[in-house]
Chains A and B, each alone.
Chain A
Amino acid sequence: MKKILSVTLTIVFIGILLFALSECPEFGNISNPANNYVSHRYIDQCVKDTGAINIITGIILDYRAFDTFGESIVLFAAAISVIVVLNKSREQV
C-alpha cells in the first residue's frame, strides 16, 4: 500500500516537473533568457572589478560574497551541531 502510494506520488511529481520543463528554454542555446546582461557583465568586467581571472572565484568571493559567507556559516553550524550530537569526550568535563 505504502509502496503503491509512493510510486504514484513520485510519478505525479515527476510528471508535473517534466511538464514545466517542456516549456523551458532549450538546453545549450546561446539566446536563452539565462544568458543575459547579468552574466555578460560578470564575464566582461570580472578581471577589472575583482582582479580574479577565475570568474567563478570572482563571483563567489566578491560579487556574491554574502552567499559564500553564509555557506561557511552553514559548515560551522553543521560542525557545531555534530559536536553537540556526537562528542563524548566533553562528557567527562
Chain B
Amino acid sequence: MAVEANFPLLILLILLISAFMMPVIKNIRTVKLFSLSAMLLSLVLSVFTFKHVSRAGTFVYKVGHFAAPWGIELKIGYLESIMSIMFTFIAALIIWASFYSIEHEVKEKNIGLYYTLCGLLIASLLGIVYSNDIFNCFVFIEISSIAASGIVVVKDNKENIKAALKYLILSSLGSGLVLMGIAFLYSVTGNLNMDYIHQELVNVKDLYHNTLIISLGLFTVGLGVKSAMFPVHIWLPDAHTYAPSSSSAMLSALVLKAYIILFIKIVFRLYGIDIVNSMPVLDIVLVTGAAGMIYGSIMAILQKDLKRMIAYSSVAQIGYIFFGMGLGNFLGFVAAVFHIISHALTKSALFLIAGNIIHQTHSKEIGSLKGIGIEMPVTMGVFIAGALSMVGIPLFIGFNSKWNFALAIIDSNKILFIAVLVASSVLNAVYYLPIIINGFFGEENIKDKVFRSKEKPVQVLLPELILAFAIVYFGISSKGIIDLITKSIAGL
C-alpha cells in the first residue's frame, strides 16, 4: 500500500492533535502560527493525496485493524480529494487573514480557544467529507455543529449569544433527524458502511419502498437545516451577521458545504442515483432550491447591514446548489459541485473584505459606504471581483457556474427554470452593483475622500488578494476543474 494512502487519516490526526495542544499554549502568536502551519501541512498532504488518487484511482483506507463492514473506513476519490484541497486551502487563507483582524473582534483570553475550535471544525468537516461510514459522519456532524456554534459565540455580544443558541438548537434538531434516518436505514439493511448499505438496499428496495423514501427525506431535511436550505435557513442570517468576520467566512464557505457534500455522497453512494430518481425527494429539493434563490436575493436587497446582505446572498447561493442537485441529472450535480467551489472562494473573499471595511469605516451600513472605493481601492478591488463573480459576469468564476447551471437545465428539459436562474442573477446585480457604484462614482460621493486614506497594508490584504486571483483564474480557465468534477461525480 502506498504511503499516500495514509495521508487523509494523518490530516485529521494532525489537525485534531494540534487543536488539543493549543489551549495549553500561552503565547497567542505561537498559537496562530501553529494553527496556520497545521493547516498548511494538511494542504500539502491533501495535494499529495490528490496526486495519488489521480494515479491510482479511488481507494479505501480502513481506520484500525478491521475492514468494513466491521470497522470504519475512509473512501477517497476525486470528489473527496478536490474538496479536501479546497477546504484546507480556504481555511488556511481565512486563518491567515484572521491574524490581523481577530484581536479587534475577540477578547484576548479567548483567542487561543478560538483557534482550537477552528482546528476542530475543519478536522470534523474533512471527516464528514472522507468518511464512508454513515454513523461516523453523524459523529463528525455533531463535532462540527458544536464547534461552529462555538466560533459564532466567541464574540461576546448579546446578538451573538442569541444567534449561536438558535443555530445550536436548530442544528441539533437537524442531526436528530439525520440519526432517525440512520436508524431506519440500519433497521432495513443492518449495515452502516455506505457501500454495504447500497448493496443491501438494491435487494430490499421494493420491500421497504416507503421506509427508504422517508429516510431519504429525513436526511434531506436534517442536512438541509444544517446547510441552510430555503425554508429552514432561519438561523443563517443571524449567525453570519454577528459572528467575527473570519468565522462568517468559514461558516459560509466551508461549513455549509461539507453537509452538501455528504448529501451528494448519500444520493450517489448510499442510495444510488437510480433509486433516488425513482423517489419524489429530488423534485422537492429542486423547488425549495429555486424558491431559495429568489427569496434570498429579495431579502438581500432589503438589507441595510453589509454582512447581513452577504449572509442573505449565501441563502440564495445555497439555493443554487440545491437547485442544481434537484435537477437530478448528471450535469446538474457537476454544476452544483462547481458552484460549491465557486461560492466558497467568492463568499470567503466577500466576508473577509466586509470585515475589513467594517473595521476601517466603523460602520456596518451599506448606505454609508460612499466613496469607499477611493479610500480603500485594493480592498474594494477584491470586493468587486467577488461581487461581479456573484452576479455572474464573464471572466469571473461565478459566470462559469451559472453557465453550467444553464447547461444542466437544458439537459434536463426543465427549460422554465432558466427564468428563475436569470431572475436571480438580475436580483444579485441589484444588490451588489450599487455598492460598487457608490464606492467609485458620483460626484458628491467621492468628494472630500482621500485616496488610500483607510487602506490596510498590502501584506494584511494578501489572503484576500489570493482569493481574488483564484476567482479570476478559475473564471478564465475552468475547463480543467470541470473535467475533474465530471470524473469525480462519475466515480462516486
Residues of A within 8 A of B (CB): 16-17, 19-20, 23-25, 32-36, 38-39, 41-42, 49, 62-67, 70-71, 73-74, 76-78, 80-81, 83-85, 87, 90-91, 93
Once the chains are docked, how many angstroms separate the CA of A65 from the CA of B190? 19
CB contacts (< 8 Å) of B110 on chain A: these are: 84, 90
CB contacts (< 8 Å) of A85 on chain B: these are: 153, 161
Asked if A34 and B187 make an inter-chain contact with CB atoms under 8 angstroms apart, the answer reads yes
Asked if A84 and B150 make an inter-chain contact with CB atoms under 8 angstroms apart, the answer reads yes
CB contacts (< 8 Å) of A42 on chain B: these are: 70
B472 within 8 A of A: no
Asked if B210 and A81 make an inter-chain contact with CB atoms under 8 angstroms apart, the answer reads no
User: What are 23 inter-chain pairs, A to B, with CB distance below 8 A?
Assistant: A17-B180, A17-B214, A23-B208, A24-B188, A24-B208, A33-B204, A34-B186, A35-B190, A36-B190, A36-B191, A63-B64, A66-B64, A66-B72, A67-B135, A73-B16, A73-B120, A74-B142, A80-B113, A81-B146, A81-B150, A84-B154, A87-B109, A91-B109
Once the chains are docked, how many angstroms separate the CA of A88 from the CA of B290? 46
CB contacts (< 8 Å) of A91 on chain B: these are: 107, 109
Q: Which 5 A-B pairs have the closest CB atoms?
A: A70-B139, A81-B150, A20-B214, A36-B190, A90-B109
Asked if B191 and A38 make an inter-chain contact with CB atoms under 8 angstroms apart, the answer reads yes
Once the chains are docked, how many angstroms separate the CA of A63 from the CA of B139? 16
Nearest CB in chain B: distance from A25 CB, A = 6
Nearest CB in chain B: distance from A6 CB, A = 13
Interface set, chain B 210-252, CB cutoff 8 A to A? 210-211, 214-215, 217
Asked if B140 and A39 make an inter-chain contact with CB atoms under 8 angstroms apart, the answer reads no
Asked if A41 and B117 make an inter-chain contact with CB atoms under 8 angstroms apart, the answer reads no
Asked if B190 and A38 make an inter-chain contact with CB atoms under 8 angstroms apart, the answer reads yes
Which of A64, A81, A93 contacts B71 (CB under 8 A)?
Answer: A64
Residues of B within 8 A of A (CB): 16, 20, 23, 63-66, 69-72, 107, 109-110, 113-114, 116-117, 120, 124, 127, 133, 135-136, 139-140, 142-143, 146-147, 149-150, 153-154, 161, 180, 184, 186-191, 200, 204, 208-211, 214-215, 217
Nearest CB in chain A: distance from B480 CB, A = 34
Residue of B nearest to A69 (CB): B16
Nearest CB in chain A: distance from B407 CB, A = 36
Once the chains are docked, how many angstroms separate the CA of A22 from the CA of B200? 20
CB contacts (< 8 Å) of B133 on chain A: these are: 66
Residue of A nearest to B123 (CB): A73
- Other than A20-B215, A81-B117, give 19 A-B pairs with Cβ distance below 8 A: A20-B184, A20-B214, A23-B210, A32-B187, A32-B190, A35-B190, A62-B65, A62-B66, A63-B70, A64-B72, A64-B135, A66-B63, A66-B133, A67-B139, A70-B127, A73-B16, A84-B117, A84-B154, A91-B109
Nearest CB in chain B: distance from A34 CB, A = 4
**What's the dominant secondary structure at chain A's contact region?**
helix
Once the chains are docked, how many angstroms separate the CA of A19 from the CA of B149? 34
CB contacts (< 8 Å) of A63 on chain B: these are: 64, 66, 70-71
Asked if A80 and B116 make an inter-chain contact with CB atoms under 8 angstroms apart, the answer reads yes
Nearest CB in chain B: distance from A60 CB, A = 11
CB contacts (< 8 Å) of A23 on chain B: these are: 208-211
CB contacts (< 8 Å) of B16 on chain A: these are: 73
Nearest CB in chain A: distance from B363 CB, A = 28
Once the chains are docked, how many angstroms separate the CA of A65 from the CA of B133? 12
CB contacts (< 8 Å) of B72 on chain A: these are: 64, 66-67
CB contacts (< 8 Å) of B136 on chain A: these are: 64, 66-67, 70
Nearest CB in chain A: distance from B341 CB, A = 27
Once the chains are docked, how many angstroms separate the CA of A17 from the CA of B147? 30
Asked if A81 and B149 make an inter-chain contact with CB atoms under 8 angstroms apart, the answer reads yes
CB contacts (< 8 Å) of A49 on chain B: these are: 65-66
Once the chains are docked, how many angstroms separate the CA of A91 from the CA of B156? 12
The verdict on A25 contacting B139 (CB below 8 Å), with A80-B117, A81-B149 known, is no
Nearest CB in chain B: distance from A17 CB, A = 7
Once the chains are docked, how many angstroms separate the CA of A35 from the CA of B187? 9
The verdict on A80 contacting B150 (CB below 8 Å), with A70-B127, A70-B143, A73-B16 known, is yes
CB contacts (< 8 Å) of B71 on chain A: these are: 63-64
The verdict on A25 contacting B188 (CB below 8 Å), with A33-B204, A49-B66, A63-B70 known, is yes
Asked if A19 and B117 make an inter-chain contact with CB atoms under 8 angstroms apart, the answer reads no
Asked if B211 and A20 make an inter-chain contact with CB atoms under 8 angstroms apart, the answer reads yes
CB contacts (< 8 Å) of A90 on chain B: these are: 109-110
Residue of A nearest to B150 (CB): A81
Asked if A74 and B187 make an inter-chain contact with CB atoms under 8 angstroms apart, the answer reads no
Asked if B113 and A83 make an inter-chain contact with CB atoms under 8 angstroms apart, the answer reads yes
Once the chains are docked, how many angstroms separate the CA of A83 from the CA of B146? 13
Once the chains are docked, how many angstroms separate the CA of A33 from the CA of B154? 46
Nearest CB in chain A: distance from B255 CB, A = 14
Once the chains are docked, how many angstroms separate the CA of A49 from the CA of B67? 12
CB contacts (< 8 Å) of B217 on chain A: these are: 16
Once the chains are docked, how many angstroms separate the CA of A70 from the CA of B12? 11
CB contacts (< 8 Å) of A62 on chain B: these are: 64-66
CB contacts (< 8 Å) of A76 on chain B: these are: 20, 120
Residue of B nearest to A36 (CB): B190
Nearest CB in chain A: distance from B403 CB, A = 38
The verdict on A77 contacting B150 (CB below 8 Å), with A42-B70, A62-B64 known, is yes
